Structures are given as structure tokens and as C-alpha cells.
Chains A and B, each alone.
Chain A
Amino acid sequence: MVSVKPGDLVRVVKGGLVVEGIVMPSTEFTSRGYIVLKLRNGYNIGLSLEGASVEVLSEGYLRLPTYEGIYGTSVIRGDGGLRVSFISTGGTIVSKVEYETGAVRPALRADELVEFVPEFREFCSELMVSELMRKLSENMTPEDWSRISEEVGKHLASGVDGVVVAHGTDTMAYTAAALAFSLRGLGNPVILVGAQRSSDRPSTDALYNLKACPIVVKEAPFAEVVVAMHGTSDDLYVLVHRGVRVRKMHSSRRDTFQSINDLPLAKVFPKERVLKVVNSRYLPRTRNRDVVVMSRFSNRVVLLKYYPAMDCNLIDYLVDRGYRGVVIEGTGLGHVRDECIPSIERASEAGVVVAMSTQTIFGRVDLDVYTTGRKLLKAGVVPVDDMLPEVAFVKLSWLLGNFPHEEPEQLKSLLLTNFAYEIGGTQSYELFPRWFHGD
């Protein structure tokens, strides 16, 4: 049998069928022994080569793209007054399906970015585009948070007016919280931006989300780490969420990111080029460039979701394995069953910080109301008020990373200290969404 390689133009004769086409790289789903052929009309079909006669008409007819390594930094000059850094870490926002082969190219080049969003040129005198890593966000670890923190810190120190970080959406909220804690004394906004639909699609949400970024850099009165993503399913406005109050709430929708237990900071209307502040509580913009980067994150912290069948020994196991922090997502006001309380007590005695958040996502933790809660307090649990479980987890990782020698009581107190409006908001009636009830 003739061997065929992706890119070859071949003629396959099989049964009554004669087809000509270019052999495409096969996908994870292509059946064994099958090839994918791109026909002249652009369609792909799959064929088994068994019993087929194959003639290679032209070897290497289509040159398949090869991907370069990480792109370096390029500086693009524009007509505006801002200096902005754009740091790419990967994710859907910079991914593109190649029309010809269907391969996913995981990186956006600087020239493509400004072609895509001409507003960058319009608003910036200087746009520094760099690629720090090429990772889907599910693959990110606290080490990556450190690298991103340092890179963003470096750019801020160089005096830019704002930093845009392109990031996958799955763990974007974790990274946003990590940056919010690691970048101390922020004077300008740091914007994490992502997409739910890749930019090869005419319906991509990346466009609107990206268009919002230079507007935020130009107009924002706040200096916080924020997430800029679609506010609704429409292409109407982009919400600017506080990085420590935002959560991915839907597996696929464009408006998946929503502020929880807090209002978003602002709405941006990219077409009208307007930023409207909607939350008056924010860290004001000082344009200070002397940001302090505290970029260490402990990897000895666990985020544990409580469920009725949970084996209480898991907590003992974590203590024995040397974990130093456990953030529990408890039920309701912040509970686990009585049976687990001795294990928690033991953990506290061993110097492990045990924090209690709630799996209801909305609302505060309160351990004063029920006996279980009071017992948990007595066992040394620190209730994290209205802090999101993921944010409590990142915060404790950061505290343990940067203050490894502090006493547990001191760490608990820091955990309850407000650094970036991540804790202690006012829970007003409107902050809980109205769900659809069928009429």
C-alpha cells in the first residue's frame, strides 16, 4: 500500500468511488486506519484505506503550518496617548482554527491583534505585545500565577498606563485573585480578558472584550485587577469585574463571568467608547508605578468541597501530608457534619489554618447561628464571611507563600483582613440574581 502523508494530493479509488483530495492531519477522533481527505469543494471526508487503491498525485502539495515558539515582545506605535502592555498567556482568546487544515493555532500575533482591534492603535502611543506562555487555563498552577505577577509587575514598573492579560477563562478568576493579592500598591488597572468563542468565528466574543480594554485603561478611575468579559448574551456591553469578586458561572455562555456578592466595577460600551462606573467602592487610581510584587504562592493549601458522604479522615490525611491550609466549602451558613469536627480540631492543633466558606456561593458564612457552627468555631475554624471559596483559597495560598513563618492566629487574622475588597461587602437585595420561573 502506498503511504500517504498529510499535505499530499492523492487519488483514491475504492469500489465505485473515485475521489481526489488533500490528505489532512487526522484528529483525535479519526478512526484507526482512516484518512481525512479535503476535497476540491472544501469539504472533508473520512475514508478507510482498506481495499482502496491510492495514487499520490503530488507529494507535499499543501504545506502544513508549523508553529513557531513563543513570540517575543513587539512594540506597536499608535496615534493615541496611552502606553499599554498586552501580555498573552494563552486560552481561547488567542486561539484560532486555521481555515485550511482545521488545526488550532494557540497564539495571536501582535499584528493580528491590532488588526483585530484597531482601537489599540487609536488609543495607544505605544503598545507592547508579548507572549509569556501558551497555556490553556486549566493547565495553570500557582507557579504560573507567580510568573504572571512578576511579568505584570515589571511592565507596571516601566510606567505603562495599564496592563492587559489575555487568559483562558476556566481559571481566569483564580489568576485574577492571585494578581489582586500579589500586586501591592497598584496604581493602574490590570485587565484580564478572555473569550468563550475563538477568534476564527465571525461570532467571536473576543472582539468586544478586547475592544473594551483600551477604554478601561483610558477611562478607569480605579486601579484594581479586573476581568473584562461580556455582560449579557448580546454584543452590547462588557462588564469590568473586580478580580476578587468574579466567578465563571456558566460552562459555555458569553456572559459566564458575573460578580458575586458585589456589583461589577463598570460597564464598557465598546461601540460608543464609553465606560460607566457602576460601583462606587474601589481602589482609586494613583498612577503609582512603584508596585510591590509579592508573588509567592504556597502549594500546601487545599480547597475542599464538603458533601454528605465525605470521609472525615480526608482532613486527617491532609494534615499528615503536611498541608498548611484547608479552605472548606461548607453547606449553607458554613457547616460540615458533627462527625468531622474532631478532625478539624486536630488540624487546628497541628497549626493548619482551616477556613470555612460556603458552597451556596451567594451570601455570607455565619457560624454563630447553629450549634454545628459554634462547635466549628471552637474547633478553630475561621469563617471567611462573604469571600468566594476560590478567592479564600488563593488568598490563603498567597498568605502562606509570603508569610510562611507567621503564627496560625496571625494568618487567620490576615485572612479576614480586607486587601482588595474581597471580603466584607454589603449584601444588598439586588445582588442575588432573579432566576426564570416560567412566566
Chain B
Amino acid sequence: MEIDYRSVGLRVGLEIHQQLDTSTKLFCSCPTKLAPEGVRYFEVSRILWLGKSELGEIDPAAAYEIGRGRRIIYRVPEGYTCLVELDEEPPHDLNREALVVALSIAKALNAIPVEEVYVMRKVVVDGSNTSGFQRTAIVALGGYVEDEEGVVGIQTIALEEDAARKIEEGPDYVVYNLDRLGIPLIEISTAPDIRTPEQALRVAYRIGLIMRLSGRVKRGIGTIRQDLNISIAGGERIEIKGVDKLELIPKVIKYEVLRQLSLLKIRDELTRRGLRPEDIPEDFVDVTEVFANTSSRLVRTSLERGLRVYALPLPGFKGILGTEVCPGRRFGSELADYAKAWGGVGGIIHSDELPAYGISERETLKLFEVLGLSRERDAYALVVGDPERARRALRAVVDRLRYAFVGVPKETRGANPDGTTRYLRPQPGAARMYPETDIRPVRVDEGILKEVERIRVPKVEELLKTLVEEHKVSRELAQQLIRDPVLHTYLDLVEDLRGVVEPQVIATTLLVHLKSLRREGVEVDRIDYSTLAKVLEAVGRRVIAKEAVPEVLRAVAEGLSLEEAVGRFRTLSLEEVERVIDEVIKASAEAIKARGRDRAIGFVMGKVMAVLRGRADGALVNALVRKKLEELLG
């Protein structure tokens, strides 16, 4: 479906988080690297707590977990953490290097540094910060990035500590690794000036590029994360967390617009049907009996574990839960998110999707009957769980359904890899922020500003010059590169393969070969960075010819191992090439003679290259063919 984003009143703001490549963490002198596998660690087990009077402002589901005393287990890898990460020692002074880097990026984004930096505590109770808060400080205000669809304002630039890394989670515990906690992050928040999904991509890319050009940020998976704030007229401003691939941004925005439009349509449909929020009952019915002899494995295994099935009757709701809100998600999925988040159950099953999950037609009908509902008009939702969890899950479903009469609820959502999003928690009210009293404020004095001056962030135009003059990439490719997010991969490869392979080969591979393979329907997403690097290295080391790159990549994408693919397209030795030419000439001796020397060259080359394409250098083959024809024909 095509959407006219202007007419739906789309507004998007970006929040971009990028790890800085400093030598130490933001508030201690631990390294800013993640602990490799096998590093010895010990574990510390904690709980977090919030006063009852403060619960009103936090995620009630988290509050519930806290109230239950959910265990938080911290892995403390030796050499990557100290007492500061463990919340056992006060934070040290704000890392000056991080401040200087953040301010140099701020400058490149035309922002104005604050005169004194105050570190704040932002309350976070999921355990990802041992203290129960994230330390964060605004270092600059204002600023803008230019874009072809108009200038986009930068509201704030903050320096903050990265959170601990979640390792695993169960119903009553969560495990974090503390190595990531405290790595400096820069957070860049734009104004909601973005009007189209493509503009959002361009602006995010441009900000990312400027950070990258500072040469002082980390690269690789997980070092940059994008959050989006998306709203449409009549909808709501929705926060979407954790878009970790730039290319996903337009899709996430499109799906969110579709979702909000669908929710508004559902609202109108409910009104049209004359339904009212109070028509949704608050009592749930235990319908476990209906499943006494069920052949649904899902239900049966749950019942064997002592769980029960509860139903929420929804008179007049037929078709509503089955309405698609965006590709791959129905309104029922939205409700299921609430059930999961609030009740800790697996989700919901609703009548619009039944029979399914092994639940039979007979059981589907029986449920309508038991609940006193009509299949033509009504609907129901089922939850499998223990009475307490099921009650909380269905309670949340009822609340969400009642909000459907209002429109789009204000939520914080998480991005899925397919571009859809899921409900995470309600949006916090006013930021729960208070001063970090353990750290003295930092005056942004002449000394700091001088250091900022020393980090020169090249302009995009200068990068173009570097690509053409230093990397020797053709101007056309270079111009294409700086507009394309693949530039990051290009720069990574150039850096990792310095002196091994020519940048032009890298640029061609990324911009020409990969793109045409994709057009041909090859699943190029299966080729990861390290494969790409190894293939290009093979070109550099003359194991394969550069002409062989597309074929090797195609083979890898189609499931061949890297070794096999490279082996198949290995460059042939001079003797092997000569042997092929000899064989062709021998087999076609008559035809060659008939054509005469000049015309025979093209004829032989065609036949030889059909065998050798990608495995030998064309110029070399041409020279050899000429020589051999010379010998043959005189």
C-alpha cells in the first residue's frame, strides 16, 4: 500500500546512540572492549528496589518484577570491570577524552556546547545498570543536519554510559555481563522534523557518517543503535527502540504508520458497531474443561504442567482481533504483546484465528457455546497460564481493548528484525532524572575546547576527495559511495584490508556486484562481513581474479562453503591457462585455419574465456592466444 506521508502528517525524530572508541570507560579506567569468550568471571547476585510512592511513574510490569524480588545476576569478567561497574565504588571523574570526542562530533553537527556539564541519573530498573540508574549528561544543544527535503534540527547531544549486556533471562531472574556497562555512548536526538521514511534513512546515515568521520567511534555490530519517535496526525508519538540496521529504518516507519492508521480504523469500526468500552467484561471464564481431550499439543502440555485455560468473551468483536495492523501482524498480536508483558504468559489465542494450534473446529465452537457467544457476531480471547499470571494477562488485554475505542496508545515499542515492532512498556512520564551527586560538574573551558579543535571531523566533500585521490576509486563510484549506507562497510573493508586489495575492487564489489546479485534474486544478506573480507583478501593475494568475485559470492550465498567457492574459482597457473588454450586450438584447428589469423583471435578468445572466465586475467589470455595463433598460423 502506498502512503502519502505528507497527508497523514508523519513526523519522525531520531535518537542515535553510538559507542565512542575511547581508551577507557566513561567513569572508570576499565577498557572499552567486550570480554571474549573464556575470560574468567565471577557472579554477583542483586535485587533492585523502588519506593512505592515512585512506582506510579515507572513501568508497572517492571515494578511487579521488582516487588517480587527478581534476581539480577551480574557476570563480572576479570580485566573488563572494576568496583565501579559493580556499584561498589563511586564513579570517577567524567572521562575527558569521551567529552572531547562528543564535543567534536557536536561541532560537526553545528551544535553549541553547554558551558558546564552536569551528570544526571536516569532511573532504569531492569537491572541493566547495577546502580539502578543510567548516568547521562547533555554536552551540547542546538545544531542541525542538512538534507535534500529540508534541514533537520538536532535538539540535544548527550554523553552517557552504555548498559550491561543481557545474557539470558528467566521468569524470576536475569543475567547480565558487566563488560559493556560504562562504555561511553554519544546520544544524538533530532527534532521531529523528518517527514518521510527515506528522509529518516538519509538523516540517520548522515549523522552516522559524521560520527564515523571523526575517527573516534567504535564500529561493528551493536556499536550503533537507532531509536525512532514516530507520529501521525490523529495518532500518537510512539517510541521505537533498538533499530540496529540503518536499512530497516524506512520499513519500520512505514509499518508504524500502517499500524497507527489501522488502529484508527479499528476505532472507527468499533464505534460504527455501536460497541462501548464497558461492554468488555472484566470477568474471565475458566474453560479448561473444553480441552479435556484436546489434540492440541500446545494446550495439552500446558495442562500437564498444571496450567489452566481462561477465556475472555468479547461480544460484538468478530473480525476485530483478526484485522491486520501491518504486514505479518494482526490486532490480536498487539493484544498478545500486552498479555506477555504484563502477565508473563506466552501470548493469547483468539477466535478469529481458530481453528489453529491444533485446537479443533469442535473445540472452537464449543467455546462459543460455553461462553454464550455467537460465532457470527462475537469473539473471544484465550490465555493459558496459572491463575495469577492469566489474571494479569487478561486484565492487560481488557485495558488494551478498551483503549482501542480511543485510538493509538502511547507506547514504547521494540523493533523486530523484519521491520515490525512489538509492545515493550508504556512510555515513562516526565523523565525520572536527578543529579549524580558523586561526580563533580565539568566546566567546558578553553583547554577542553582546544582539544576539541584538534579532532577535525572531515566534511563529506573531503571524504569524496579522499576516495578519489587516495583510494583511487573512480569519481562516479565515489559519488555513489558517499550517498550509500554501504559506505560504512566500504570504509571498514578498506581499513581491514589496507595494502592487500585495491579500494576500487572493494567499491565495485559492494556497489556493483552485490547489487546486481541482489537484483538477480541471490540472497546476498547471507554473505556476512567476514566472508566478504575473506573473498576480497583472496583477490588481493591473487588466489582468485577480481572478475571471479561475483561468482564466488553467488556460490557462497547459495550455500557453498567459502573454501569450496574460492577453490572453484581459483586463478589458474600459467601452464593451466596454456593447456586450456592449446586444447581449444587443437579442437578447433580447422575452423581457425578457415577464418585466418585476424578473425580467429576473437573466435578463439570467445571459446577460451567461456572456460576461463573469472579464473585468469583477460589481458594475459589475450596475449597468450595471439602468441599461439602466431605460432600456428605464422
Please give the residue numbers on chain A whose beta carbons come within 8 Å of chain B beta carbons, in ascending order. Answer: 15-17, 19, 27, 29-31, 34, 36, 39, 41-48, 97-100, 102, 104, 112, 115-116, 197, 199-204, 207-208, 232-236, 252-254, 271
B486 contacts chain A at the CB level, 8 A cutoff: no
Q: List B contacts of A234 (CB < 8 A).
A: 44-46
Task: Indicate if the CB atoms of A204 and B437 lie closer than 8 Å.
Answer: no
Given A36-B116, A253-B89, 11 more A-B residue pairs with CB atoms under 8 Å apart are: A39-B138, A42-B120, A99-B433, A100-B434, A112-B51, A199-B51, A235-B46, A236-B45, A252-B83, A252-B88, A253-B88
Task: Indicate if the CB atoms of B437 and A104 lie closer than 8 Å.
Answer: yes
- The answer for the CA separation of A29 and B49 in the assembled complex, in Å, is 30
Could you tell me which residues of chain B, from 36 to 76, have a CB within 8 Å of some CB in chain A?
44-54, 66, 69
* 21 A–B contacts from the bound complex (CB under 8 Å): A17-B112, A31-B441, A31-B443, A34-B115, A36-B441, A43-B118, A43-B158, A43-B433, A44-B120, A45-B116, A46-B114, A46-B116, A98-B434, A102-B434, A115-B51, A199-B51, A202-B66, A203-B48, A203-B87, A236-B45, A252-B90
Task: Indicate if the CB atoms of B441 and A27 lie closer than 8 Å.
Answer: yes
**Contact string, B443-487, partner A, CB cutoff 8 A, digits 1/0?**
100000000000000000000000000000000000000000000
- The answer for the CA separation of A108 and B49 in the assembled complex, in Å, is 17
Identify the closest chain A residue to B76 (Cβ): A233
- The answer for the CA separation of A271 and B68 in the assembled complex, in Å, is 10
Task: Indicate if the CB atoms of B114 and A202 lie closer than 8 Å.
Answer: no
Task: Indicate if the CB atoms of A235 and B47 lie closer than 8 Å.
Answer: yes
Could you tell me which residues of chain B, from 242 to 299, have a CB within 8 Å of some CB in chain A?
none
Q: List A contacts of B156 (CB < 8 A).
A: 41, 43
Identify the closest chain A residue to B89 (Cβ): A252
Task: Indicate if the CB atoms of B52 and A115 lie closer than 8 Å.
Answer: yes
B606 contacts chain A at the CB level, 8 A cutoff: no
Task: Indicate if the CB atoms of A46 and B118 lie closer than 8 Å.
Answer: yes
- The answer for the CA separation of A43 and B134 in the assembled complex, in Å, is 13
Task: Indicate if the CB atoms of A47 and B432 lie closer than 8 Å.
Answer: no
- The answer for the CA separation of A192 and B151 in the assembled complex, in Å, is 62
Picked from B44, B47, B90, B136, the residue with its CB within 8 Å of the CB of A233 is B44
A contacts with B: majority SS: loop
Q: List B contacts of A208 (CB < 8 A).
A: 47
B440 contacts chain A at the CB level, 8 A cutoff: yes
**Given contacts A16-B112, A202-B50, A43 and B120 within 8 Å (CB-CB):** yes
Q: List A contacts of B136 (CB < 8 A).
A: 43
Q: List A contacts of B50 (CB < 8 A).
A: 202
B132 contacts chain A at the CB level, 8 A cutoff: yes
Listed residue (B45, B69, B141, B441) with the most chain A CB atoms within 10 angstroms of its CB: B441
Task: Indicate if the CB atoms of B88 and A254 lie closer than 8 Å.
Answer: yes
Would you give the shortest CB distance from B190 to chain A, in whole angstroms? 14
Identify the closest chain B residue to A27 (Cβ): B441
- The answer for the CA separation of A204 and B156 in the assembled complex, in Å, is 31
Q: List A contacts of B51 (CB < 8 A).
A: 112, 115-116, 199
Picked from B125, B431, B440, the residue with its CB within 8 Å of the CB of A29 is B440
- The answer for the CA separation of A71 and B552 in the assembled complex, in Å, is 79
- The answer for the CA separation of A102 and B443 in the assembled complex, in Å, is 19
Task: Indicate if the CB atoms of B44 and A42 lie closer than 8 Å.
Answer: no
Listed residue (A29, A43, A236) with the most chain B CB atoms within 10 angstroms of its CB: A43
- The answer for the CA separation of A28 and B43 in the assembled complex, in Å, is 37
- The answer for the CA separation of A254 and B46 in the assembled complex, in Å, is 12
Q: List B contacts of A116 (CB < 8 A).
A: 51
Picked from A17, A115, A232, A252, the residue with its CB within 8 Å of the CB of B141 is A17
- The answer for the CA separation of A294 and B574 in the assembled complex, in Å, is 104
Please give the residue numbers on chain B whose beta carbons come within 8 Å of chain A beta carbons, in ascending order. Answer: 44-54, 66, 69, 83, 86-90, 112, 114-118, 120, 122-123, 125, 130-133, 136-138, 141-142, 156, 158, 430-435, 437, 440-441, 443
Task: Indicate if the CB atoms of B53 and A46 lie closer than 8 Å.
Answer: no
**Given contacts A16-B142, A97-B435, A116-B51, A45 and B117 within 8 Å (CB-CB):** yes
Task: Indicate if the CB atoms of A201 and B133 lie closer than 8 Å.
Answer: yes
Would you give the shortest CB distance from B514 to chain A, in whole angstroms? 41
Task: Indicate if the CB atoms of B53 and A115 lie closer than 8 Å.
Answer: yes
- The answer for the CA separation of A207 and B66 in the assembled complex, in Å, is 13
Task: Indicate if the CB atoms of A44 and B118 lie closer than 8 Å.
Answer: yes
Q: List A contacts of B52 (CB < 8 A).
A: 115
Would you give the shortest CB distance from A180 to chain B, in whole angstroms? 29
**Given contacts A39-B138, A201-B133, A233 and B88 within 8 Å (CB-CB):** yes
Would you give the shortest CB distance from A82 to chain B, in whole angstroms? 23
- The answer for the CA separation of A236 and B88 in the assembled complex, in Å, is 15
Task: Indicate if the CB atoms of A34 and B90 lie closer than 8 Å.
Answer: no
**Given contacts A19-B141, A46-B117, A204 and B49 within 8 Å (CB-CB):** yes
- The answer for the CA separation of A236 and B158 in the assembled complex, in Å, is 36
Would you give the shortest CB distance from A89 to chain B, in whole angstroms? 21
Task: Indicate if the CB atoms of A202 and B138 lie closer than 8 Å.
Answer: no
Identify the closest chain A residue to B114 (Cβ): A45
Would you give the shortest CB distance from B162 to chain A, in whole angstroms? 17
Q: Which 10 A-B pairs have the closest CB atoms?
A: A46-B116, A202-B132, A102-B435, A42-B433, A42-B431, A44-B118, A29-B440, A45-B114, A202-B48, A99-B434
Would you give the shortest CB distance from B380 to chain A, in whole angstroms? 39
Q: List B contacts of A30 (CB < 8 A).
A: 116, 441
- The answer for the CA separation of A159 and B432 in the assembled complex, in Å, is 44
Q: List B contacts of A253 (CB < 8 A).
A: 83, 88-89
- The answer for the CA separation of A41 and B49 in the assembled complex, in Å, is 24
Q: List A contacts of B138 (CB < 8 A).
A: 39, 43, 45
- The answer for the CA separation of A332 and B263 in the assembled complex, in Å, is 78
Q: List A contacts of B120 (CB < 8 A).
A: 42-44
Would you give the shortest CB distance from A382 to chain B, in whole angstroms? 39
Q: List A contacts of B433 (CB < 8 A).
A: 41-43, 99
Q: List B contacts of A201 (CB < 8 A).
A: 131-133
- The answer for the CA separation of A288 and B48 in the assembled complex, in Å, is 39
- The answer for the CA separation of A88 and B437 in the assembled complex, in Å, is 23
Would you give the shortest CB distance from A71 to chain B, in whole angstroms? 18
Identify the closest chain B residue to A254 (Cβ): B88
Identify the closest chain B residue to A96 (Cβ): B51
Would you give the shortest CB distance from B83 to chain A, in whole angstroms? 7
Listed residue (A34, A45, A197) with the most chain B CB atoms within 10 angstroms of its CB: A45
Q: List B contacts of A233 (CB < 8 A).
A: 44, 86, 88
Task: Indicate if the CB atoms of B46 and A31 lie closer than 8 Å.
Answer: no
Q: List B contacts of A19 (CB < 8 A).
A: 141
- The answer for the CA separation of A39 and B138 in the assembled complex, in Å, is 10
- The answer for the CA separation of A102 and B432 in the assembled complex, in Å, is 12
**Given contacts A41-B431, A102-B437, A46 and B45 within 8 Å (CB-CB):** no
- The answer for the CA separation of A236 and B90 in the assembled complex, in Å, is 22
- The answer for the CA separation of A104 and B435 in the assembled complex, in Å, is 10
- The answer for the CA separation of A83 and B389 in the assembled complex, in Å, is 37
- The answer for the CA separation of A87 and B289 in the assembled complex, in Å, is 57
Would you give the shortest CB distance from B304 to chain A, in whole angstroms? 30
Q: List B contacts of A39 (CB < 8 A).
A: 138
- The answer for the CA separation of A242 and B45 in the assembled complex, in Å, is 26
Would you give the shortest CB distance from A297 to chain B, in whole angstroms? 32
**Given contacts A46-B441, A203-B87, A235 and B131 within 8 Å (CB-CB):** no
Q: List B contacts of A232 (CB < 8 A).
A: 44
Q: List B contacts of A42 (CB < 8 A).
A: 120, 122, 430-433
Task: Indicate if the CB atoms of B112 and A202 lie closer than 8 Å.
Answer: no
Task: Indicate if the CB atoms of A34 and B116 lie closer than 8 Å.
Answer: yes
**Given contacts A16-B142, A48-B115, A202 and B437 within 8 Å (CB-CB):** no
Identify the closest chain A residue to B66 (Cβ): A202
Q: List A contacts of B440 (CB < 8 A).
A: 29
Task: Indicate if the CB atoms of B114 and A99 lie closer than 8 Å.
Answer: no
**Given contacts A42-B431, A202-B123, A15 and B112 within 8 Å (CB-CB):** yes
Identify the closest chain B residue to A34 (Cβ): B116
- The answer for the CA separation of A371 and B287 in the assembled complex, in Å, is 89
Identify the closest chain A residue to B52 (Cβ): A115
**Given contacts A17-B142, A202-B125, A254-B88, A47 and B114 within 8 Å (CB-CB):** yes
Would you give the shortest CB distance from B438 to chain A, in whole angstroms? 10
Listed residue (A27, A42, A202, A236) with the most chain B CB atoms within 10 angstroms of its CB: A202
**Given contacts A17-B141, A43-B120, A46-B443, A203 and B115 within 8 Å (CB-CB):** no
